[in-house]
Amino acid sequence: MTKNLNNISTIELSYSPNFKMSDKPKVTSADDVYYLLMNNWNSKTIDLIEEFKILLFNRQSRVLGVMSVAKGGFSAVHVDPKVIFSAALKSGASGILLAHNHPSQNTAPSQQDIKLTNDLLKIAKLHQIDIVDHMIVTSDGYFSFVKGNLIRTQQVGPKANLLL
């Protein structure tokens, strides 16, 4: 049996921003982030289907992009960390803001939300990427893990301070 050592795939990393970096929004507060998220959330499903998104930031706190990571059911969504960190690494992001909605309109984090956040903080530290915050959003408001002291700013680096 002969081996064919030529049948391998080429893997390429690419990121194609569609705006100049200076034209990308710069966030300075959790309210700014909530506004950005609501502009990128389907208003017809935010109160129906749970969805997990990320905002990716550069070192100057400019938003590189928003990505839908996963959609779930009425009360849960399965999040694969590989998807989050693949996007962050591919875009060269230095910060990630985690966000998901609670169709129930209850912004209080569940134990699963807290565990997922802590797991992602550990992975982010290995990649030298800051988790800027984790926000639970509804059509009526939001909960910030940083403002709620569920993420300490020393865990996520200096970027968290700009969202307080």
Query: Could you give all domains of the chain from N- to C-terminal order, each with its CATH number?
Result: 31-163 (3.40.140.10)
- Cβ-based neighbours of 29, under 8 Å, separated by 6 or more: 162, 163
Q: Along the 164 residues of the chain, how does pLDDT read in single tens digits?
A: 667 777 777 766 566 777 777 788 898 899 999 999 999 999 999 999 999 999 999 999 999 999 999 999 999 999 999 999 999 999 999 999 999 999 999 999 999 999 999 999 999 999 999 999 999 999 999 999 999 999 975 444 445 455 54
Instruction: Using DSSP bridges, classify how beta strands 141-144 and 95-101 pair: parallel, antiparallel or unpaired.
Output: unpaired
Q: Return the structure tokens found at 61.
A: 């706190």
| Predicted structure pTM score | 0.85
Burial (0-12, 13-18, 19+ Cβ within 10 Å), 140 = exposed
